[in-house]
Amino acid sequence: MGIIEATSVGMTFAATRQGSATVAFQDVDLDIEEGEFLCIVGPSGCGKTTLLNIIAGLERPTAGVVSMEGEEIEGPSPERGMLFQDYALFPWKTVWDNITFGLRYGVRRRQYPRRRRDEIARGFVDLVGLQGSEGKYPHELSGGMKQRCALARLLANEPEVLLMDEPFGALDAQTRLVLQDELVRVWGAEPSAPRRKTVVFVTHSIDEAVFLADRIVVMGRRPGRIKEIVTVDLPRPRGTQTRAGSRFRELTNLLWDEMRDEAIEAAR
């Protein structure tokens, strides 16, 4: 039994003045194992972000059940943290105050005394390499730095499951590669709990998915559904040499074959 289980999950958006009801996806069955890095790829409109939002508890599915550790997910919880494509940093908070935001104002705010909170935050500032920028405001940071800050904020809140919604989608190609390397380095290296947390990572990029994932869920569109689940058998720790290997190419080609037709259609 996985840490997160989706059973016959479907999402239909109600009809609006602009158009009829749309099925985002349907009949999604998914078991996410504790400690695995799961990527979800698929063309635009396959509902992968919606699925992630449902796991987060930000949206409720119109069919089926998603549960975590056997309990139905009914709303957001600090157990499941999230990383957003647009970073979603609080612009009136400095880097430091963003990172400690959940610890200070969340439902678990009384869990730690102030000094322990600061220790935790300090650990993640160091881990993501933001030393010296603690007093800066988000608008003073580059895109890569913003996402590092958001990652530290996510990890500092000590969630069990990390949900990432195309977190590197707005970054330039080089920064993106650097942050992918950083993410695999940081994953499981948290000072407080040195074990790998479950990650669900939504991306457009096949290369990114192959580089990061243990398993890749390929979604199709019209209606959105799971087409295939590919196991990535690349050894860890992964790094620059991983991308140069022949197995990396084989896997990306395999996934591209799986997605090509729908990607072309989605691009029309």
Partner 1 sequence: MSKQVTLADNNASSAGGSARPSITSRTVIESALPWVAVVAFLLVWQLAAGSIANAALLPPPARVASALGEHIADGQLLNNAVASLGRLAMGFIIAVVVGAPLGVLMALSRAANDFIEPVVEIIRPISGIAWIPLALIVLGVSQALPVFIIAYVAIFPIMLNTAAACRGVSQGLLRAARVLGLSRSAIIRHVVLPAAVVGVMTGARLGAGGAWLALVAAEFIGAPDGLGFSIWYFAGIIQTAEMIAYICVTGFGGYVTDRALRLLQRRLTPWSPALRGI
Which chain residues interact with partner 1 by CB under 8 A? 56-58, 75-78, 80-82, 84, 86, 88-92, 101-102, 105-108, 137-139, 153, 157, 163
Of the candidates 190, 135, 199, the residue with the CA atom closest to the CA atom of residue 167: 199
Nearer to partner 1 by Cβ, of 83 and 206: the residue is 83
Q: Could you tell me the two tokens for 78?
A: 């600090």
Select 46 or 95, whichever has its Cβ closest to partner 1: 95
CA-based nearest residue to 158, from 114, 106, 87: 106
Structure tokens at 42: 């698929």
Q: How far is the CB of 266 from partner 1 (least distance, A)?
A: 24
Nearest distance, CB of residue 78 and partner 1, angstroms: 3
Tell me whether residue 201 or residue 211 sits nearer to partner 1 (CB atom).
201
Nearer of residues 26 and 53 to partner 1, judged by Cβ: 53
User: 251 near 230, Cβ under 8 Å?
Assistant: yes
Closer to partner 1 by CB, 163 or 219: give it: 163
CB of 196 to partner 1, least distance (A): 20
DSSP symbol at 196? P
Q: Distance (Å, rounded) from C-alpha 119 to C-alpha 192?
A: 10
Q: Please report how close the Cβ of residue 164 comes to partner 1 at its closest, in angstroms.
A: 12
Closest separation between CB of residue 220 and partner 1, Å?
26
Residue whose token pair is 């993106």: 176
The count of other CB atoms within 10 Å of the CB of residue 240 is: 8
